[in-house]
Structure formats: structure tokens, C-alpha cells
Amino acid sequence: MLRLERRATPSSTMSIASPLLAAAGMLVTGFLLFSALGKDPLEAFYLFFIKPLSSTYGIGELLLKTTPLLLCGLGLALGFRANVWNIGAEGQLTMGAIAGGGVALWFGDSDSSFAMPLMLLAGILGGMAWAAIPAFLRTRFNTNEILVTLMLVYIAQLMLSWLVHGPWRDPQGQNYPQSQGFGDAETMSVLINGTRVTWGIVYAVGLALIAWVFSEKTFAGFRMQVAGLAPAAAAYAGFSEKRNIWIALMLCGATAGLAGICEVAGPIGRLQQEISPGYGFAAIIVAWIGRLHPIGVVFGALLMSLLYLGGEAAQMGMGLPSAITGLFQGLLLFYLLAADLFIYFRLKRVGVVESPEPKPAIRVEGAV
Amino acid sequence: MNPLIPMIASTVLAATPLIYAALGETVVERSGVLNLGIEGMMLIGAVAGFAATRSSGSDAVGFLAAAAAGVALSLIFGFLTLNLQTNQVATGLALTLFGIGLSAFVGHNLAGLPVARLAPITIPGLTAIPVIGDLLFHYDIMVYLSVALFIGVQWFLTKSRAGLTLRAIGESPGVAHAIGKPVLTTRYLAVMFGGATAGIAGAYLSLVQTPMWVEGMSAGKGWIALALVVFGTWKPARVVIGAYLFGGVTQFQLFAQGFGLPIPTEFLSMLPYAATVVVLVIICRDPKTILLNQPASLGHSFHSAA
């Protein structure tokens, strides 16, 4: 008989191996799913995971979709480390797009060199402002940030919808719910010729490095980690919980807001009703796959981006609904959570107990 | 007809799925488990109920299929959090993301197809009464069943021995285990019950509210149901009152249009979400309210070494 037994110390090997196990589990399930749907699994895998990467344009698309996932994932990872459950990165992204896009529309077709820096700044501030609401409500009114951040996603999306249907609608846009296209100076320049990938990916990777230094080398980063791992110890050491919550939400608001403006000033080029296929939510999985570590998040974002591309390819190549991406994302997180069990526990063989008398001693443990 | 009657009727229509989902989650949370996956289970319920009713022509089959689909999804959550002791917040989020993806995938070919709306039932003698008949006896069967569900849950939690055990487990699983109460089994059953009601809530959306399947049609109602449980301080009666209040808030849209108030529809659509935030702030403002009412072990895994 096998039994779970708590490890004396968490296994660092398993912590790295677990995302790989999860990816393997997802692939096996995908194999079965494709077979069950009557598709050739190998052909499906080729379409899903290889073909998108077989051209420069494809690599560009991969990096393009990696950008918002990485930016949001970084902010979320820093927050999750400190036990701050911000799940509304999608709303902060939307607000960043609205604020930055508003600046872009204000500049119109102007070729001012101030336009782009101001747009990026406005995007960051927009995301931060949106994240400040749950931070304030949690620190001042003790209100759970999970539900508040999520409700604010819907409110931000409706706000964007109102803007592009109403005041910011392009008068020459044949009544489409979208703004005017941004001018040349208000559009981010392409990084690699022949692709659509913008400078956004450079900012994102740069921020990943900064986030790494922040969380590993600064006192503020250390305080946040302690707050997540051992809240009682953090309180005893006098680390302010409120400050941690504010830092966590402000950082995520900033990165998600930047992701939003990078999307509308990059591949989209205008404000419109739909600006993200759920990047902010997928970034939750990215943060987890990346072990809440800024460098790990880079890999998590690349994998998630590939799932988006694969979903699109499967839709075009095999007539499968692109929702298969969401299915794989959910599966991946399930497998990851299950595999994470073995970071803290191990399976131990136990002999069959001869006497069925229950042991009197009972240990109760809370596992995270 | 009094113009207030259709407004009350549509309040009930809007509140009913919230009642199912929130009452189920109340039972789950009272057992000490926090399942954030309601949104996902509702969507699966919506698509399963829609598909089953379309192919069988029977609403009963639809709602049963929805409940079964909700239970199936909740079992994944149960296995991960109860057996493998994964983080309940993260697992619930995963369940929601998975449910959104799976329902969109399964319902790909069902989008936009019609289905007959579940008709209100006529109660001989009662429905014909002026005003009162329109007000109280003009609903579909699921509305009456939601009242029955409330009475059942209320009785179970406060009057039954099994309910007492469930609450004891929610407060202190270690102690309950020590005196021989089946912690895992009880929590499993609670999670499955929550799955069934969330599934039914979803089917109410796709078979009654807007009788069709639309991707992501629950639009945050699963999360609002979670907020209602907090709003109701984990007490079924208050949860139900909260659900009707929320149903009323969504009717403000009709009210504003009726009076020709120049408010863009987007802002009116924001109301339920904004109201959720306001309500949470009011309830959580005093930490004691939460401390005194929230099941003490909510969200914590239980691992017995014995």
C-alpha cells in the first residue's frame, strides 16, 4: 500500500520537474483527445506545437503573444509570492489600454516624440490606478481581493466597450465599435522585419530581469516572500502586511497596464471592444508554471503563447474550435497542481497493518 | 397590469440561478472547502443542459444532465484538493479556467441554436388570482424548486445531525476526525452538492434566462454567487435575500430605460459588478463579522496521518 508522507524539506528537484510532468500530462491527454476526435494525434501535435515555430513570422507571433503573458505573469507571480491573490490582471490590462490609448487618440496623427513615452506611462498608470482599488479596499476595509479584482475586470471591459461605442468611436469607421487607428508615432515599431513583434517583448524581458533582482536581492522583495511563506514570521518581524499588499498590487497593475498599452499600440493599432483573448487570466497559469519565479515566468509565458498559436493553427488546419487553447490551459494547471503535491509529500510504501485498531495519535497539518 | 409585476418577475428570473449556485457554495464552504470554480461548473452545466434538452426535448433531462456535469467537474476539484491537498484557491481558479475552455470547446457547434424556453407552470386556481397569481404563481418549476432547496439547506444545516457534523468539520476538521467523523467523505459530498447546484444554475441560464448557448454566458455570475455567500455571512436565509437584492439591481436597467434616463447601457451593465464590490466592502469592513461567521477551517487542507 502506498501512503503520502510529508517530506522533511520541500524537494527542489520536484519543484523544477513538476511543470515538465504537467506538460507531459497535458500532451498525453491531448493525444487521447485528438484520437477520440478522430484526428491523427501526430499530425495534430505537429500543427499545434511545431508548425507555428517553423517560420520567422511564426517566431515573431510567438514573441508577440509572449509579451502580454510575460508582463502580466511577472506582476502576478510577485503578488502570489506574497499571498496577494490578484486575479484581475485582465482588467488592469484593459485599463492600461484605455489610459494609454486615450493619450494616443489625444495626440492624433501628431509625430511628436513625446507621444510614445507618454502613452506607455499612461498605460502603466492606468493599470496601477485600477489595481489601487483592490489594494485600498483590502488594506482599509479588509475586503477580499480575489472577488474585487475579478469584478473590476468586467467593469473595465464595459468601460472600454462604452468608449469605443460612444465618445471615442471613429466617425469614419462605418459604425464599427472601434477608435481611429493610431498615428505612426503612436504605434510601436516592429522589432524584427517580416514579423509583427514589437519592442514590447524587449521591455518585458528587461522587466523579468528587474523583477528577478527585486525579488531575490532587495529587502522589499524578501519581505514579500516571507509574508507568503510564513505570514506569522513576517508579522513577528514587523513587516507591514499593508505595505506588501500595496507593493504587490501596484507592481502587477503596472506590468499589466504596460501589457495593455503594448497590445493596442502594437499589433492592434487602435482601441476596440476585444483587445485580449484572456491574457490576464492565462497569466495566472503562466505565473504558476514559472514557479512564481521571474525567470521561470519567461518560460511559462513562451509555453502559454505556443498554446495560443497552436489553438489558432488547429482551428485553421483541422477545423477544431480555438477554445481548445482554454481546455489545454486548464488541463495544464490541473496537472501542475497535482504534480506539486510531490514537492511537499512523497509516496511511501507501508506494510499491511495487522491489527485494525486505529492509532490514537492524530496529526493535522495544513498543506499549501 | 401593474408595471411592477413584470419587474418583480424578472427579478426572480435573475435571482434564481444565483440562489442555486450560492446555496450550494454555502454548504461547500460550511464544510471548510472554498471552491472558486463555480463559474466553470456553471458554464459546463449550461452547455450540458442545453445539449441534453435539445437532443431529448425534455427540460428535466437537461437539468439532470447539467447537475451531473457539475458533479463530474466538482469531482476533479475534490480529488485535487481533498486527496492531493492542493491549494484550494489555485485549484478553484483552475477549475474555472478549465470549465470556460471545456464548455466553449464542447459547445462549439451549439452556439446560436434555439431551444424552447422552459415554460411557467400553471397552478389550477392559484395562477388565475389577480395580481397575487401573477406575482407568486406564474413561474417555471425551477423557481419553486429553488425555494424548496433553500428550505432543505436551511433545515439540513441547522436541524439535522448530518448538518451538524458538516459544520463541525468546517470549523475544526481535526477535532471532528478525532471523534470519528468522516472528514473526507463529508467534504466530498459537500463539494459534489455544490457541483450539482452550480450545474443547475448554469442550465437555468441556457434553458430559461436566455434560452440558447453562448460562450462564457455566465458572465461572472459564478463569482457573484461566491460574493453572495460572504454577503450572507454563510447563512442560507441571508444568501437568498442577497440573491433577490442582486436580481433587483439587474432590473435597474429596465427601470432606467422605462423612465428614459440617458445612461449608457454599459454603465447599467456595470451595476451588478459594482454592487458586488460595494456589498463586499460593507460586510468585510468589520473584521469581526468575517471572523465570527466564516467557517474556521475554510480554505485549509486537512491531512490526517492516522
Alpha-carbon distance B50 to B43, whole Å? 11
The pLDDT tens digits for B254-278 are: 677 667 777 788 888 888 889 889 9
Alpha-carbon distance B245 to B248, whole Å? 5
**For cell 435573475, what's the residue?**
B14
CB A202 within 8 A of CB A215: no
Q: What is the pLDDT of residue B1?
A: 54
Alpha-carbon distance B173 to A67, whole Å? 44
Closest Cα in chain B to A366: B301
Query: Is B301 among the domain residues?
Result: no
A 10 A CB-CB count for A357 gives: 7
Q: What is the pLDDT of residue A327?
A: 85
CA distance B286 to chain A (A): 7
User: How many domains does one find in chain B?
Assistant: 1
The pLDDT tens digits for B242-252 are: 999 888 887 77
Q: What is the pLDDT of residue A74?
A: 92
Each as own residue / partner, the long-range contacts of residues A11-14 (CB below 8 Å, 24 or more positions apart, any chain) are A11/A342, A11/A343, A11/A344, A11/A346, A14/A339, A14/A340, A14/A342, A14/A343
A 10 A CB-CB count for B174 gives: 17
Chain A interface test: which of B82, B177, B303 (most A C-beta within 10 Å): B303
Closest Cα in chain B to A37: B106
Query: Is B305 among the domain residues?
Result: no
pLDDT averaged over chain A?
A: 84
* Local structure of A18: helix, strand or coil: helix
Longest CA pairwise span in chain A (Å): 84
Q: What is the pLDDT of residue A352?
A: 56
Query: Is B126 among the domain residues?
Result: yes
The pLDDT tens digits for B116-156 are: 787 777 777 777 777 777 777 778 888 889 999 999 999 99
Query: Is B101 among the domain residues?
Result: yes
DSSP label of A240 = -
C-alpha cell at A316: 485553421
Alpha-carbon distance B20 to B66, whole Å? 12
Give the CATH number for residue B195: 1.10.3470
Alpha-carbon distance B86 to B118, whole Å? 39
Residues within 8 A of A (CB atoms), B 90-129 only: 90-91, 93-95, 97-102, 104-105, 108
Given a cut of 60, is residue A356 above it in pLDDT? no
Residues in CB range of A69: below 8 A, 6 or more apart: A279, A282, A283, A286, A300, A301, A304, A305
Instruction: Please name the residue ranges forming H helices in chain A.
Output: 12-36, 41-45, 56-81, 89-107, 115-141, 145-165, 200-217, 219-229, 231-236, 241-263, 279-289, 294-318, 324-344
Q: What is the pLDDT of residue B44?
A: 94
Please compute the mean of the pLDDT values over residues B62-70 and round it to a whole number.
Answer: 94
Domain range for B89: 4-293
pLDDT averaged over chain B?
A: 86
Alpha-carbon distance A282 to A260, whole Å? 14
Element (H, E) at B39: helix B38-56
B227 in A contact zone (CB under 8 Å): yes
CB A197 within 8 A of CB A289: no
Query: Is B262 among the domain residues?
Result: yes
C-alpha cell at B192: 459534489
A364 in B contact zone (CB under 8 Å): yes
Query: Is B226 among the domain residues?
Result: yes
C-alpha cell at B42: 456553471
Query: Is B303 among the domain residues?
Result: no
Q: Which residues of A touch B301 (CB under 8 A)?
A: 365-368
Residues in CB range of B16: below 8 A, 6 or more apart: B142, B143, B146, B204, B208, B243, B247
Choose among A267, A340, A252: nearest CA to A305: A267
* Local structure of A124: helix, strand or coil: helix
Bridging pattern class, strands A2-6 and A364-365? unpaired
Choose among B279, B265, B246: nearest CA to B10: B246
Alpha-carbon distance A205 to A286, whole Å? 14
Q: For chain B, what percent of residues have pLDDT higher than 70?
A: 96
| Helix axes A294-318 and A324-344, enclosed angle (nearest 10) | 150
Distances (CA, A) of B98 to A36, A157, A307, B50, B62: 19, 22, 14, 19, 21
CB B41 within 8 A of CB B73: yes
Distances (CA, A) of A176 to A170, A280, B94, B136, B262: 8, 25, 35, 44, 22
Given a cut of 80, is residue A238 above it in pLDDT? no
The pLDDT tens digits for B179-236 are: 888 888 999 999 999 999 999 999 999 998 888 888 888 888 999 999 999 888 899 9
* Local structure of B155: helix, strand or coil: helix
The pLDDT tens digits for A56-84 are: 888 888 889 999 999 999 999 988 888 88
The pLDDT tens digits for A80-138 are: 888 888 989 999 999 999 999 999 888 887 778 888 889 999 999 999 999 999 999 99
Give the residue, A3 or B73, on which the prediction is more confident: B73
* Local structure of A367: helix, strand or coil: coil
Choose among B199, B177, B186: nearest CA to B74: B199
Query: Is B171 among the domain residues?
Result: yes
Given a cut of 70, is residue B306 above it in pLDDT? no
B264 in A contact zone (CB under 8 Å): yes
DSSP label of A237 = T
Residues within 8 A of A (CB atoms), B 127-156 only: none
Given a cut of 70, is residue A302 above it in pLDDT? yes
Closest Cα in chain B to A160: B266
Give the residue, B162 or A229, on which the prediction is more confident: B162
C-alpha cell at A346: 512523497
A39 in B contact zone (CB under 8 Å): no
Please compute the mean of the pLDDT values over residues A198-212 and round it to a whole number.
Answer: 87
C-alpha cell at A61: 507571433
